[in-house]
Structure 1
C-alpha cells in the first residue's frame, strides 16, 4: 500500500528544499564577498584545524623575524662602534711609535699626551654606546652606564662590566647571544693590555720623558687591538648567521602562507559561477514550487 502524499507534506518538503537552496546561496555569497572558504569553523572542521595550525606557525615566525631584526641591528651597531674603537687604537699606536723614537722633545710629548687623553675619553664614550637606550657593552645590565666614574670607581681601568649575554630567540630552540662585555673588549682591571691602563702608563711615561717606557707599551697596544679585532670578527660571523636565518624565515613565511591560502581562500571566479548557478536554481525552484502548490477548491471537486 503506497503512502498517501498530503498537501501539507508537499509544502513542508518544498520549504525545506527552498531553505537548503537559500543556505547554499548564502554560503556562496559569503565566500565570494569575503574571499574565504572558511568563515566559521562549521564550514570546514578539518580545514579549520589546519588553518589554526598555520596561523600559529605564522605568528611564531613573525616573532622570530622581529627578534632577528633586533639582533641584527644590535650586531650591526656593535660592528660600527668596534670599528671606531679599532681606528682609535690605530691612532694610539701611531702616537706611541712617534713618542718612543727619542727624537720628540718635551713639548712634543705634551702634545701627544693631550691627544692620548682625548682618545681615552673617546674610548670611554664608545664603551658607553647605546642602542635604543640600551648600553651594548654592559651585558644584561642594559640600563646602567658601564664606563662612568663614581666614588667607588675612580679610574676607567677599574670598571667591571656585566658579563651576562643578551640573547634573542631566532628559531625553534635556538637562541643567539649578541652582546660583548666591555671588559672583554677594552680589557679588565687585571689585564696588562687594558687599554685605559695602557694609556695611563703612556701618559705617565711622557710626563717623565721616558722614551723606553713609552716604547714598552707597544706590545700591549698591539695585543689589545688584536683582541678587539677578534671580537669584531665574531660579531661579523654572527651577523652572517642572522642573515641566513632571516632568509630561511622569509622562505618559511611564504610556504606557510601559501598553505594557509589553499585552506582558507576561495577561488573567487569559481565561487561566483557557483553562486550564480545556485541563484538560478533557487529562482527556478521558487517558480516550480509556486506552480505545483497552486491548489483551490476546484481541485477537490469531481
Structure 2
C-alpha cells in the first residue's frame, strides 16, 4: 500500500486528538476526584453508584427515624417515671389515711391531695411530642383524657369517649378498629422491613390508675355513702381490692408501671443495637461507593505524566512530518 504525505498528516492529527482526549479525561478525574464525570464515561460504574447512593439515602432516613424513636421512648419513660413517683406518694398517703386516729377533716385533706395527684397523672397521660399525644395509640391527634360533660366536681377528666367508655370503675372497650384504638401500636421503620413499637399501652394503664385513684378518693370522702370508710377498707387499696380489673390496687399498679418501664428500656437497648447496625451499614456503603467511583490519584498522576511524555514525543515526530514539502523532496 502506498503511504502518502496526506495519510501521514491525517494519522498524526488523529493520534494527537486521541492523546488530547486521554489527557483531558485524566485531567477531569484529577479535578473531580472521581473516575467518571458523566454516565457515558462508564455506565457500569454509574449504575452501581446510583445503587450505593440509594442505600446511603435509606440509611440517612433510618437514622432520622431513630432520632424520632429515641424521642418517643425517652419521653414515654420519663412520663412513666413521673407516674411511678406519684404512686409512691399515693401509697404514703393511703398508709397515713388508714390510721384510725385520723379525723374526718384530716382524711378530707388527704383526699384533696389524692385528687390533685389524680389530675396530675391525667395530665401526664396527655403528654405530647410536638402536636402528637404519645399515649393515645395511633390516634395521636386526640388526648387520652378529656374534660367530662358536665365537668366533674373534683376537676378530674375521663377517658376520651372516642376511644373507650369509662364507667368510673372499669374501662369498657368499644373500639372495633385497632387503627383507632388508644392501645394500637405506633410503629416506626428503622431498617429494611424492620419496625419498632415506640408507644406504651396508655388506655389500660392510665385507665386502671384513674380507676384506683377514684376508689381511694371515694373512700376518703367525708360524705361517703353508706358512711366513712374503715381503716381496713382503706388499707385494701395498698393490695387487696378484688374486681375484674387487671390492676386494682397500688401494688399491682406500681408493678404494671415498672413492667412498662422495663419494656421501654428493652426497646431502648434494641434501638442502640439498630443504631450501631446503621452506623456500620453507612460505613460499608460509603466504602463501596468510594471504591467504585473515587479516583486513585497516584495511578492517575502516573498515567497523566506518561500521557504527557507520549504526547510531547508525538508532537516532536509530527513536527518533522508536517514540515515536509515538495521542495524538501526536490532537494
TM-score normalised by structure 1 residue count: 0.91
Aligned match of 2:88: 90
**2: CA distance between counterparts of 1:122 and 1:86?**
12
Count residues with an aligned counterpart: 294
* 1:91-132 superposed Cα distances (whole Å, 9 cap, x missing partner): 111111110121222232122112111111110111011112
| Structure 1 stretches of at least 4 aligned residues deviating more than 4 Å after TM superposition | 152-155
Q: Conserved in 1, the CA contact under 8 Å of 2:23 and 2:308?
A: yes
**Deviation of 1:70 (Å):** 1.3
Aligned match of 2:238: 218
Aligned match of 1:298: 327
Aligned match of 2:214: 200
**1: CA distance between counterparts of 2:85 and 2:232?**
25
**Deviation of 1:287 (Å):** 2.5
Q: Conserved in 1, the CA contact under 8 Å of 2:62 and 2:190?
A: yes
**Deviation of 1:294 (Å):** 0.4
2:242 equivalent to 1:244: no
Aligned match of 1:162: 182
* 1:3-27 superposed Cα distances (whole Å, 9 cap, x missing partner): 1111221121111111111111111
Aligned match of 1:18: 16
2:147 equivalent to 1:149: yes
**Deviation of 1:286 (Å):** 1.9
* Secondary structure, aligned partner of 1:279: helix
Q: Conserved in 2, the CA contact under 8 Å of 1:168 and 1:175?
A: yes
Gaps of 5+ in 1: 188-193
**Deviation of 1:296 (Å):** 2.2
**Deviation of 1:153 (Å):** 8.8
Judged with a 3 Å threshold, the aligned counterparts in structure 2 of structure 1 residues 153 and 247 are, in CA distance, closer, same or farther, namely farther
* Secondary structure, aligned partner of 1:169: strand
**Deviation of 1:30 (Å):** 0.7
Q: Conserved in 1, the CA contact under 8 Å of 2:135 and 2:199?
A: yes
* Secondary structure, aligned partner of 1:183: helix
In the TM superposition, 1:84-163 aligns within 5 A as 84-151=82-149, 156-159=157-160, 160=164, 162-163=182-183
Aligned match of 2:244: none
* 1:25-67 superposed Cα distances (whole Å, 9 cap, x missing partner): 1111111111111222233232223222222222222222222
**Deviation of 1:158 (Å):** 4.1
1:174 to 179, 194, 201: 194
TM-score normalised by structure 2 residue count: 0.83
Q: Conserved in 2, the CA contact under 8 Å of 1:129 and 1:137?
A: yes
**1: CA distance between counterparts of 2:316 and 2:61?**
56
**2: CA distance between counterparts of 1:243 and 1:265?**
32
**Deviation of 1:197 (Å):** 2.1
* Secondary structure, aligned partner of 1:283: helix
* Secondary structure, aligned partner of 2:147: coil
